[in-house]
Chains A and B, each alone.
Chain A
Amino acid sequence: MMKRTIPMLLAMAAGIVMILAYFFPPLTPLQDKTTVWFNILAAVAFILGGGNLLKVHLKKVSDRREGWAYSMITLAAFVGVLAIGLFKIGVNPLDEFPDQRMAGDFRAEGSGFWYVYEYVFAPLTATIFSMLAFYVASAAFRAFRAKNLEAILLLGTAFVILLGRTAAGVFLTDFLPEEGMLANFRLENLTVWIMNNPVTAGNRAIMIGIALGTASVSLKILLGVDRSYLGGGD
């Protein structure tokens, strides 16, 4: 009962409040409270996550498993950044309390935490994100191989869109008039037409399916039909 029924009832109550508050404004404060409860739970679980991270990587190092050196780096980074934030290393005191260094904001510009974020974390994140360009190229190369009719259509459409979004596209069909029916065949106009019509129609069909699927799964959880989030089973 404590493991299944009560959590299920809590989830149902919270879900029903969230839905009703959308239609009945007087329930909005209750909705806000439910969100606060979730945030409190998530904050407690964050401590659990930190503990788990330490456990997993310490075990890997002590067992000298493959890649244990990476775990050492992870542990050093975790403990180091935690210490910099907790002890407010490099934090400048506030003007109101010049003698109290610990009163300053640990994220303020010039603090140790700020340096780590700006000069270590942000560049690393940007590096991973920028790798996307290369991954897009290799995925596009595979996806656009003209192996059947559908792939040929995809390749043709992609070709038009890519050209239409560049100066080359405008240049290539510059001989077509800017007004009248033939203007529709200028690559920049064809691109806009493709994006506004077939692409939007396909996207909306997927969106309607997703919206109904989301509502259906939510309803199944509210009715207690789907209990997989409690560990599966009936």
Chain B
Amino acid sequence: MPCFSLTSLLLVAEEAAAAAETAESTGLLNMDRLPLLGVAVFFVVAVVFWISVARSGGEINVREIAGLKAIEEAVGRATEMGRSVLFVPGIQDVSEIQTIAGITVLSKVAKTAAEYDAKVEVPVARTLVMVTARETVQEAFLAAGRPDAYNEDLIYYVTDEQFGYVAYLSGMMVREKPAACIYMGCFYAESLILAETGNSIGAIQVAGTAMPAQLPFFVAACDYTLIGEEFYAASAYLSESPAELGSLKGQDLAKVLAFGLIGLGALLATATQFVPSLQGAFDFFTGTLLG
């Protein structure tokens, strides 16, 4: 025990020394990241401001997102055909923000399925996602007034291995022929294999991801695709909660800032061609301000 305490003390002392060394060598604030900190603060203030505006009754409109509207249609079709709805929350863990966005959509899918008395099957590639998805689906069934219809065995772990997971899903899709396949989360090379298999069995397919390289595959093979920020807006769109809708407005403000910076950069780059003395300002803008 004394040995353990001594080791702990030594470890703590080592960590403190390392932290002090880091602070000495780089200072309290990483100055290279100061402009980014400014942008982050602007973004936080904009989002918090619009959340408070929305909470105090300010009206916020969100354009219709066809992919999310189609979810109800897909679940309804599955009910009519007596087949299941397959929901795939991507292949990453809950530490990935896309997985969390996917779980939010799952909540809506599960609630609709509970109302229609349809079966939602959620095979997952990460155990923590399985636990989270089970909690979410159970809550959704409870909210729909059908807690008895919840079956935790429909949300299960397959494997962490990317292509092992794909092989299982493809086989299951061909054998069980789900009427609707919904892919919401982080995907890599498996996106096209899944979407093409779903297409070959004639399922309605809705996909959403923030992986730019996988978007063309989903667009080509699925009926509806939520592209990047639409996927992240799904949570606010589906919940219709003023606080969440307010965050979308704050996000739009940050987008205006981004547009402004792009416009300023383009203007400076063009002006530098005619007025060489502006080169310093351009270098500061691209090198320091934008990192």
Q: Is A100 an interface residue (CB 8 A)?
A: no
Taken residue by residue from 213 to 234, chain A's Cβ proximity to chain B (1 for < 8 Å, 0 otherwise) reads as 1111111110101101111111
> Given A29-B19, A231-B139, are A139 and B171 neighbors across the interface (CB < 8 Å)?
no
Q: Is A22 an interface residue (CB 8 A)?
A: yes
Q: Which 10 A-B pairs have the closest CB atoms?
A: A213-B232, A49-B127, A231-B135, A209-B229, A143-B220, A213-B229, A45-B127, A228-B104, A128-B163, A210-B228
The contact of B210 among A210, A231, A232, by CB within 8 Å, is A210
Q: Is A203 an interface residue (CB 8 A)?
A: yes
Shortest B34–chain A CB gap in Å is 8
Question: Looking across the interface, which residue of chain B has its beta carbon closest to that of A18?
Answer: B95
Alpha-carbon separation in the docked complex, A210 to B241 (Å): 21
| Contact residues in B for A124 (Cβ distance below 8 Å) | 163-164, 167
| Contact residues in A for B215 (Cβ distance below 8 Å) | 206
Q: Is A129 an interface residue (CB 8 A)?
A: yes
The contact of A213 among B104, B217, B228, by CB within 8 Å, is B228
> Given A142-B221, A210-B212, A212-B229, are A225 and B247 neighbors across the interface (CB < 8 Å)?
yes
A23-B244 in contact (CB<8A): no
Beta-carbon contacts under 8 Å, B210-257 to A: 210, 212, 215-217, 219-221, 227-229, 231-233, 235, 241, 243-244, 247-248, 250-251, 254-255
Q: Is B48 an interface residue (CB 8 A)?
A: yes
B157-A232 in contact (CB<8A): no
B244-A139 in contact (CB<8A): no
B163-A129 in contact (CB<8A): yes
The contact of A217 among B94, B101, B126, B132, by CB within 8 Å, is B101
Question: Looking across the interface, which residue of chain B has its beta carbon closest to that of A39?
Answer: B95
Shortest B215–chain A CB gap in Å is 7
Report B's interface with A, CB cutoff 8 A: 15, 18-19, 22-23, 26-30, 33, 36-37, 40, 43-44, 47-48, 51, 93-95, 97, 100-101, 103-104, 107, 126-128, 130-132, 135-136, 138-140, 143, 153, 156-164, 166-167, 171, 175, 189, 192-193, 195-196, 199, 210, 212, 215-217, 219-221, 227-229, 231-233, 235, 241, 243-244, 247-248, 250-251, 254-255, 258
B47-A42 in contact (CB<8A): no
| Contact residues in A for B103 (Cβ distance below 8 Å) | 228-229
Beta-carbon contacts under 8 Å, A116-131 to B: 121, 124-125, 128-129, 131
Number of A interface residues at 8 Å Cβ cutoff, please give it.
62
B22-A228 in contact (CB<8A): no
Alpha-carbon separation in the docked complex, A232 to B27 (Å): 41
| Contact residues in B for A42 (Cβ distance below 8 Å) | 93, 126-128
Shortest A1–chain B CB gap in Å is 16
B27-A25 in contact (CB<8A): yes
Question: Looking across the interface, which residue of chain B has its beta carbon closest to that of A47?
Answer: B127
- Can you name 15 A-B residue pairings with CB atoms under 8 Å? A22-B33, A45-B127, A49-B130, A66-B175, A128-B167, A143-B216, A206-B228, A209-B255, A210-B229, A216-B232, A217-B97, A217-B235, A219-B47, A226-B235, A232-B143
Interface secondary structure of B, over-half rule: helix
The contact of A128 among B97, B193, B233, by CB within 8 Å, is B193
Q: Is A136 an interface residue (CB 8 A)?
A: yes
Alpha-carbon separation in the docked complex, A42 to B18 (Å): 27
Question: Looking across the interface, which residue of chain B has its beta carbon closest to that of A135?
Answer: B196
| Contact residues in A for B19 (Cβ distance below 8 Å) | 26, 28-29
Taken residue by residue from 57 to 92, chain A's Cβ proximity to chain B (1 for < 8 Å, 0 otherwise) reads as 001000000110010000000000000000000000
> Given A132-B193, A135-B192, A217-B101, are A203 and B212 neighbors across the interface (CB < 8 Å)?
yes
Q: Is A197 an interface residue (CB 8 A)?
A: no
Known contacts A208-B258, A226-B235, A229-B94, then 12 further A-B pairs from the complex at CB < 8 Å, ordered by chain A residue: A23-B33, A28-B22, A42-B126, A124-B163, A206-B212, A212-B43, A213-B232, A216-B47, A219-B43, A219-B44, A225-B241, A231-B136
B37-A139 in contact (CB<8A): no
| Contact residues in B for A230 (Cβ distance below 8 Å) | 135
The contact of B127 among A19, A46, A231, by CB within 8 Å, is A46
